[in-house]
Amino acid sequence: MMQQSKVTAYDSTLRDGAQAQGVSFTVEDKLKIVEQLDALGIGYIEAGNPGSNPKDLAFFKRVAELKLQHAKIIAFGSTRRIGIQAADDNNLRSLLSANTQSVAIFGKSWDYQVTDILRTTLAENLAMIGDTIAYLKTQGKEVVFDAEHFYDGYKANAEYAMQTLQAAADAGADVLTLCDTNGGSFPNEVFEITQKAVARFPQVQIGIHCHNDCEMAVANSMAAVQAGARQVQGTMNGIGERCGNANLCSIIPNLQLKLGLNCIPQENITSLTYVARFISEVANMPFNDKAPYVGNDAFSHKGGMHIDAVNKNPISYEHINPEQVGNIRHILVSEVAGRGALLNKLQQIEPGLTKDSPDTIRVLEQLKTLEHEGYQFEGAESSFDLLMHKLLGKFEPFFSLKQYNVSIFEPSSDGLNSSATIHVNVNGKAANATAQGDGPVNALDKAMRSALESFYPAINEIKLVDYKVRVLDSSQATAAKVRVIIESTDQQQSWTTIGVSTDIIEASWLALKDAVEYKLLISK
């Protein structure tokens, strides 16, 4: 069943992933994620339901302006409502207003869902599927049909489940996606049922969409591919409702490196770890250090015998070379841990460095110290770039902080409830400023800019576009450390900086200071 070597990766992070508890993407978040997924080489990006909220409509308008190299954007919706014409369905009109080349439509394939949840007839459900897809095909759309609850439906009433696929295929569906919506199927069931669908519809591509309620979403997705499915849906880091979706960060390397199936461009897979961690930061979710392939611990070795064996030959305790997916090996008890991983970055600043140079070791030790304190530089490379310049003696300070003071006064009458005063030194000259803001961080940001703008007019080009706070240890309650991530832009490029402290204002100050220093560094 595996004659074809191409399997299409279909990402649903921005739609299914957004249904995870605690996840709420802004339009800017979604655009950033689209760019990363496209650069990775994902084939389809399911980006939202334009019929559900105005934010998704705004996103589809903005995403059309991006010049994507690999991905097709998918708008998601449901079959027409009961008893009306597809052309008269408002949700389908909204779907078409997204102006995407491709759309995904979900419909019921479990007879129980049709009669007891939709409360309509089995015949009407088939008509809803067929009418909707046929109408969308007349509008020139590529159509992916998601057969919701397919595996449960097949186990309950195999004939009817197949009839739903037949209705979609007869109407012109380009892909028939089999959904394990409740996440309760086992790999052997998925393999056998998928194999029957592939045999029944040899002219239509079969896809797979799994949920992780039994922690088998990745295994079930792999079983479906081995049975002949050629499109795999999932989310980055497996985020999604309940227990999550099939994790593309595991599926992609499983397909590419283990089964030899082309899923994304081979040269792009080394970006997988970076993209996984980037999306985790944008989603403001803790990254799973234990995640296969991309986790910080995926290639970590602590036991003495393990370390000795890995130093002799990594294949003794590693199933792949971590560099294949853009990760690194961690020797947790060795003073040379991670040294090689830093070298390329350090050599961009000081080409003569080697992995055994004292400066390389010193940067590594400082990095380990900062990571222990709560810093994580995968999502804040600009702060790491600054750190390397400073530790290598390649940074001339643009200013130094003498003191800042922040006051908060509530209630406010004009929306400006905070005041900040800052004292800095610029090349031996004192500079002071006071500003009011909507919150203490905003006031501090404005005061810093006011104090520095006469010395460095380029500061006026900086615009803060994202600000995120994460509590690092909630057990410490209000005394917990927080990590602040700030993204800034000057309309030419964007950069991200980080600050960590038990004081949210100090953490914000550290990230704001890095943002300004990085801008001044690249403007020299």
CB 25 within 8 A of CB 52: no
For 328-351, give the DSSP string: --EETT-TTTTHHHHHHHHHHH-T
Both tokens of 422, joined, read 């800052």
| Predicted local distance difference test score (pLDDT) of residue 302 | 65
User: Are residue 353 and residue 227 in the same domain, yes or no?
Assistant: no
Q: How many CA atoms lie within 13 A of 100 on its CB side?
A: 32
Helix (H) / strand (E) element for 9: namely strand 8-11
| Rounded Cα gap, residues 31 and 14, in angstroms | 10
Assigned domain for 58 exists:
yes
Residue 438: give its domain's CATH number: 3.30.160
Expressed in percent and rounded to 5, the helix, strand and coil fractions of the chain are 45, 20, 35
User: Are residue 37 and residue 175 in the same domain, yes or no?
Assistant: yes
CB 274 within 8 A of CB 40: no
User: Are residue 66 and residue 162 in the same domain, yes or no?
Assistant: yes
| Rounded Cα gap, residues 371 and 379, in angstroms | 13
Render the burial of 461-482: b for 16+ CB within 10 Å, e for the rest. Answer: ebeeebbbebeeeeeeeeeebb
Task: Report which DSSP code applies to 167.
Answer: H
Assigned domain for 292 exists:
no
Residue 306: give its domain's CATH number: 4.10.430.20
Residue type, 523: S
| Predicted local distance difference test score (pLDDT) of residue 4 | 63
Task: Report which DSSP code applies to 114.
Answer: I
User: Are residue 404 and residue 307 in the same domain, yes or no?
Assistant: no
Residue 275: closest CA among 41, 517, 58? 41
Assigned domain for 178 exists:
yes
User: Are residue 278 and residue 351 in the same domain, yes or no?
Assistant: no
Residues of the chain with pLDDT under 50: 1-3, 333-337, 341
Assigned domain for 151 exists:
yes
| Rounded Cα gap, residues 157 and 164, in angstroms | 11
Assigned domain for 287 exists:
no
User: Are residue 405 and residue 385 in the same domain, yes or no?
Assistant: no
Residues 220-246 have pLDDT tens digits of 999 999 999 999 999 999 999 999 999
Residue 115: give its domain's CATH number: 3.20.20.70
Assigned domain for 2 exists:
no
| Predicted local distance difference test score (pLDDT) of residue 344 | 64
User: Are residue 127 and residue 256 in the same domain, yes or no?
Assistant: yes
pTM (predicted TM-score): 0.71
Rounding to the nearest 10 degrees, give the CA dihedral for residues 306, 307, 311, 314.
Answer: 50
User: Are residue 46 and residue 118 in the same domain, yes or no?
Assistant: yes
User: Are residue 416 and residue 475 in the same domain, yes or no?
Assistant: no
User: Are residue 318 and residue 450 in the same domain, yes or no?
Assistant: no
| Predicted local distance difference test score (pLDDT) of residue 359 | 87
User: Are residue 320 and residue 246 in the same domain, yes or no?
Assistant: no
Q: What is the domain range of residue 325?
A: 299-334
Assigned domain for 290 exists:
no
Residue 479: give its domain's CATH number: 3.30.160.340
Domains in the chain, number = 4
Assigned domain for 3 exists:
no
Helix (H) / strand (E) element for 372: namely helix 358-373
| Predicted local distance difference test score (pLDDT) of residue 22 | 87
Centroid of chain to Cα 472: 20
Residues 258-277 have pLDDT tens digits of 999 999 999 999 999 999 99
User: Are residue 268 and residue 364 in the same domain, yes or no?
Assistant: no
